[in-house]
Structure 1
């Protein structure tokens, strides 16, 4: 198991390796496997990329972010301009039903609402607006329409887990309450954790996935 000092060094190195992040302005602290990022970034996309880079590092149990988005004068846009750009990009996103997503912008922070049939559609919506110029944050309040029974959801997720590259899918428990899915048990990496949650989200009728899985390095 890595010491906090080793973990801090590895996360710092990963940030320096990530070309979309200006690592010199980001401080890294580690305590008991929990990593904290602090500092200033020029865009929400840079913040998001820094967080993803930190989570790639083996040994990171949890991540807290104190990164502040400080837009340069060239990057600033009015809320009206951001809203218009977001509506346009959502309209041109082929995986989204026309008019399914509503946009609200306040001080550069984009809030998405509406309802779609699948998690991948909700992910496509947030991915579409995350990298727009002037955006300081994104709140995903898009819901997923239920369409199947809880028994079918549980069976589909368990089958999906067995098909994935997870080392021991039997260590992951699936509980279904209506259209809410809770995953618990053990995984060996953040990649396995993401694979498990993506398998749950990929099941028709799932509106919410609660991740109670524990990392076991």
Structure 2
């Protein structure tokens, strides 16, 4: 006797339909994104979580594809399985090193204390910065260099004095921000570390909450545990 198949419920059909709708929307968003060759990227969706696969020519293109997927309504997460192609004719490590050094020097906001080391076309950034946006700017700049296949950002932030009202100030900043619902996000502080929990309705809202927390002068680390509903 063969085992009976599980009965497909209306909820199963709704989830399946939603996943297919999200998949089509992500594919269309990738197709409309100027910096992305959508024909080289595969899209699958399971329960609202998107997996991107395939191969692209640069980290910048991979980043653009991931951001495009996050822009789609209904996406609850993105798994980036996209590889950066290794062109045998592309720059050697020594050439990439020179290019990365120059772009870090020229990029506004990147402190001179940030340095790069290139091996096998992979960039490792080290040093210290005063603000998180400087650390982010360094990684973005290095990722734009032709031939780079990955960037490991190990830049640390200068230690700062903690403040007893950090959580309250961040919460107030949430209230002032028109894109955030402060009532759904909880802020806890331990020393210089801020932990965000709760839920939001979009990745744009989640990103804004994290950026707002990083804007505090007393924060050295932000732990993002916010979920997207």
Secondary structure (helix, strand or coil) at the match of 2:97 reads helix
Match of 2:37 among 22, 44, 60: 22
Q: Once the two structures are superposed, what CA deviation does each residue of 1:1-38 show, in whole Å capped at 9, x if it has no partner?
A: 87111111111110001011110111100001111011
CA contact (8 A) 2:160 2:220 kept: no
- List aligned pairs for 1:133-212, cutoff 5 A: 133-212=146-225
Report the Cα distance in structure 2 between the residues aligned to 1:184 and 1:13, rounded to whole angstroms: 32
CA contact (8 A) 1:200 1:206 kept: yes
CA contact (8 A) 1:117 1:205 kept: no
In 2 relative to 1, CA 205–114 (structure 1 residues): closer, same or farther, beyond 3 Å?
farther
Match of 1:94 in 2: 108
Match of 2:143 among 130, 146, 153: 130
Q: Which TM-score applies when normalising by structure 2?
A: 0.88
- The structural deviation recorded for 1:73 is 4.9
Greater RCO structure (CA 8 Å; 6+ sep)? 1
* CA root-mean-square deviation: 1.6
Paired residues in the alignment total 214
Match of 2:95 among 62, 70, 81: 81
- The structural deviation recorded for 1:166 is 2.9
CA contact (8 A) 2:76 2:228 kept: yes
Structure number, greater radius of gyration: 2
Residue 56 in structure 1 maps to residue 82 in structure 2:
no
Report the Cα distance in structure 2 between the residues aligned to 1:143 and 1:156, rounded to whole angstroms: 23
In 2 relative to 1, CA 152–80 (structure 1 residues): closer, same or farther, beyond 3 Å?
farther
CA contact (8 A) 2:100 2:142 kept: yes
Secondary structure (helix, strand or coil) at the match of 1:198 reads helix
Q: Which TM-score applies when normalising by structure 1?
A: 0.92
Unaligned runs of 5+ in 1: none
Secondary structure (helix, strand or coil) at the match of 1:160 reads helix
Report the Cα distance in structure 1 between the residues aligned to 2:172 and 2:154, rounded to whole angstroms: 28
Match of 1:70 among 77, 85, 88: 85
